[in-house]
Structure 1
Amino acid sequence: MTAASPAERTVPAPAGGPGTPSRALTPGLRALVRRRRTWIVFAVVLVLGALVLAFIQGLARPSGPPLGSDNAAPAGARALVQVLEAQGVDVLQAGTLDEAEHAARGGATVFLHDGLGLLDREGLARLARASDRLVVAAPDFAALEVLAPGVRLAGSADGVLGEVTCELRAAVRAGELSDGQGLLTVDADAAASGVAGCFADGEAFAVVTGTAPDGAEVALVGSTAPFANDTVDESGNAALAIGLLGAVDEVAWYLPGPADADAAAAPTMQELMPGWVSPVLVLALVVVIAAGIQRGRRFGPLVVEDLPVHVPAGETGEGRARLYARSSARARALDQLRIGTIRRLQDLLRLPRSAHVDLVVAGAAGASVRDAASVRRLLVDDLPHGDRDLVALARDLADLERRVRSALRPGPTDAPAPTGRRP
């Protein structure tokens, strides 16, 4: 229980004058919100920022997968597909490996782009066995090992590639390729088996053609640039892509998806997580449970209820004091002490219960021969910052009441004061 500020606990001056009853205030919801308004504003800004960022990411998200046949975004391949269809090539959407195999056995050229590496080596081998012609865009290590042993990745090219260096008809018609092409190298064993490279950049090539171990004619294109919407019209990219995919009347456009991944070979969540994640999660769980237990003991303010049995006032006061002590509600405990002291001072000073606290302060200061400002701080303004302060304030309240009582106690020869009037 945090201590209340003076503005929250000061007895307010009533608009109607001294006739308004006095009361001590404890922090409420409005006071707590005002006290923590900085953190509230910070949290609201974070939430709004997260919402705006999510909205912007949603707008910037591409309309489909890279090289998707119906994706009109810069990374898609809708422009190339529309050109192929205009030339009489039937482009089939192969959503799974089985569909791609079925189309390949029907004589279709299979276009493969596995940007996420979802297709394993067994799937690649199955596709190569079923295909007569296979065009692979941006192959990964697994695709090179299965389809073209001896071919390796070699980075990317700088500038336009204009040296064809092969007899592939599509490459000859293209003449050159744009900047940003991926490169592949061919070792001596692969070259001896008939693997050839086109568009050389030193010892590497942008396009490699040959025969797969299972007998399929394979064309490996090191980059997606010849097929993507934003680069297909640069240099001879379009001529190369159309020449590779338009050789027959049917193309199976296959982009492997999550259904093609081998669930048994996929790493588990524990394997993907770093080693420090599990201890941090356990520690966070312990902290949350401890915080819940600590905060769960604060059940809110006391509620007045009619008890079914008679409880002595002293026992009730002691029980409430224990609750205040357990929750460190020093401000509420001091409020109760001050309210009791003010009421007893009203009786001693012959003031009505509706008298304003300022009248009580003035009367107590005059009777005890003390400064009115110090009496007001004691009865209204001072706040306890710890148990020692609370004990000291309680002792000062008792001392003030004792002084007033001693000053107003009639002597042996004093006549009693008239009822209802101040002495």
Structure 2
Amino acid sequence: MSPPATTSLEAPPPTAPDDPAAPAGATALTPTIRATLRRRRIWIVFAALVALGVLAINLIGGTARGGGPLLGSDNAAPGGAKALVEVLRGHGVDVTPVDSYDLALDAAKSGSTVLVYDELGVLTADRYSKLGLYADRLVVVAPDFVALEALAPGVRLAGFASGPLDDVACDVPAARRAGSLSDGQGLLRVDDDAAADGWQGCFRDEGDAFAVVTGEGRGGEITLVPATTSFENGRITEHGNAALAIGLTGASERLAWYLPGPTDAAAGEAPTIAELTPGWVSPVLALAVILTIAAGVWRGRRFGPLVAENLPVQVPAGETSEGRARLYARNTARLHALDQLRIGSIGRLAQALRLPRAVDVASLAEAVAASTGRDPVAVRQLLVDAQPVGDADLVRLAGELGDLEADVRARLAPETGPGRRP
């Protein structure tokens, strides 16, 4: 038996279908872009639906906000507050939109009512305390934990109301005129210490939670409204929302409508990364660095000069074929794998039949059929036209190619005995 064939590590790639050395007409049936798109059309449609959904959500969100901030004084969208501002101006209230903390503090010092809605949560406790100290009337819409701790210790967030509220439960004139509030209200709870300090709630819900809480701060009257519902364009006409909003914001001749922005964040008071991370992070990072260095010293290669050595490297042809076959199998490239087998079979058949290297596949199929007695159409179907629809079909076609080559070699081999062929 002859030794197994070997090939160099840099063996030339298989002959491509358009190589001049390959028989003419041996066109590979590798899937085209159209076939690839058609095979993956389900994923393409799914990705398109996801993109359309994201676009629709963005459009709906932008339409709902109307291109302006929530409770913006000039925002006419359902979430804006332009309706309330225009009504106040119609009643002689001088409404001034404010977009910086310094202007809001100046308005508070001048005796204006200050409405604060910190959607981004950028104001610190110190800034809330200063506003409460200088403002005669301060209305805080949707206060967060920082605002409650700075302005009303003992008042806590308590979720949302279960429906419309009609139990006024306080003697605040604005609440008495409103009489009731629509659903969608936030709730605050007043503990005993806060109640002892004079804080009272209006519009009671179940569990002693209130939709409005008022009290006296260090400088003047402070009103906490935990939801924006009563001020929004789309909800202000429901129940007594309008009466409450006008009563709270129109108590004086001037109103500063303050919506803090990113520029109002106190950069000097912002926590550092070290303050935000837990205490165990730094020791763990230091230990990880030490372990990495130790592992590198333990398992790393020794440093030294590079040695150039020319070693003959031979890779068996079978290993090369197996590696390429695994790549085809991993990418489900059945047709491409079959094309490579067909290219090799066509070249070997042409060589066995002593045909010129430039012979076309049709002529080769006729020559093979003539030498084996097979149907020329079936031979051409096997060499060019048939496409595998699965792994089993690919194995079957590969076996038929081998049988065809073996049949041609057997037909052309000289007789080894009376009436016998090898």
Structure 2: how far apart are the matches of 1:100 and 1:27?
74
CA shift, 1:245, in A, is 1.0
Gaps of 5+ in 2: 1-16, 18-22, 282-314, 326-335, 416-422
Aligned length: 336
Aligned to 2:45: 45
| Matching of residue 227 in structure 1 with residue 231 in structure 2 | yes
Match of 1:181 among 182, 185, 189: 185
The alignment's C-alpha RMSD in Å is 4.2
The answer to whether the Cα contact below 8 Å between 2:95 and 2:256 also exists between their aligned partners in 1 is yes
Aligned to 1:265: 271
Which deviates the most, 396-405 or 140-149? 396-405
Report the CA distance shift for 1:266/1:225 in structure 2 as closer, same or farther (over 3 A). Answer: farther
User: Secondary structure in 2 aligned to 1:136?
Assistant: strand
Structure 1: which amino acid aligns with 2:57? Q
CA shift, 1:80, in A, is 0.5
Match of 1:250 among 254, 262, 265: 254
Report the CA distance shift for 1:29/1:90 in structure 2 as closer, same or farther (over 3 A). Answer: farther
Which deviates the most, 235-244 or 177-186? 177-186
Structure 1: which amino acid aligns with 2:408? L
Which deviates the most, 246-255 or 386-395? 386-395
CA shift, 1:265, in A, is 2.8
Report the CA distance shift for 1:382/1:160 in structure 2 as closer, same or farther (over 3 A). Answer: closer
Q: TM-score, normalised by structure 2?
A: 0.66
Report the CA distance shift for 1:237/1:392 in structure 2 as closer, same or farther (over 3 A). Answer: closer
Structure 1: how far apart are the matches of 2:58 and 2:341?
56
CA shift, 1:150, in A, is 1.9
CA shift, 1:134, in A, is 0.5
Structure 1: how far apart are the matches of 2:396 and 2:175?
91
The answer to whether the Cα contact below 8 Å between 1:161 and 1:179 also exists between their aligned partners in 2 is yes
User: Secondary structure in 2 aligned to 1:155?
Assistant: strand
CA deviation profile, 1:77-98 (whole Å, cap 9, x unmatched): 1110111111222222222322
How much identity, in percent, do the aligned residues show?
A: 43
Structure 2: how far apart are the matches of 1:165 and 1:322?
87
CA shift, 1:144, in A, is 1.6
Structure 1: which amino acid aligns with 2:38? R
| Matching of residue 57 in structure 1 with residue 57 in structure 2 | yes
User: Secondary structure in 1 aligned to 2:231?
Assistant: coil
Structure 2 counterparts to residues 368-407 of structure 1, below 5 A: 397=405, 400-401=408-409, 403-406=411-414
Report the CA distance shift for 1:372/1:165 in structure 2 as closer, same or farther (over 3 A). Answer: closer
CA shift, 1:375, in A, is 6.4
| Matching of residue 154 in structure 1 with residue 158 in structure 2 | yes
The answer to whether the Cα contact below 8 Å between 1:134 and 1:219 also exists between their aligned partners in 2 is yes
Structure 1: which amino acid aligns with 2:71? L
Aligned to 2:368: 361
The answer to whether the Cα contact below 8 Å between 1:97 and 1:127 also exists between their aligned partners in 2 is no
Structure 2: how far apart are the matches of 1:86 and 1:197?
30
CA deviation profile, 1:375-399 (whole Å, cap 9, x unmatched): 6687666989899997995686266
Structure 2: how far apart are the matches of 1:387 and 1:157?
69
Aligned to 1:280: none
The answer to whether the Cα contact below 8 Å between 2:105 and 2:134 also exists between their aligned partners in 1 is yes
| Matching of residue 193 in structure 1 with residue 197 in structure 2 | yes
Structure 2 counterparts to residues 12-31 of structure 1, below 5 A: 23-30=25-32
Structure 2: how far apart are the matches of 1:242 and 1:220?
15
Report the CA distance shift for 1:378/1:406 in structure 2 as closer, same or farther (over 3 A). Answer: farther
Aligned to 2:102: 98
Structure 1: which amino acid aligns with 2:248? L
Aligned to 1:78: 82
Q: TM-score, normalised by structure 1?
A: 0.65
Which deviates the most, 54-63 or 381-390? 381-390
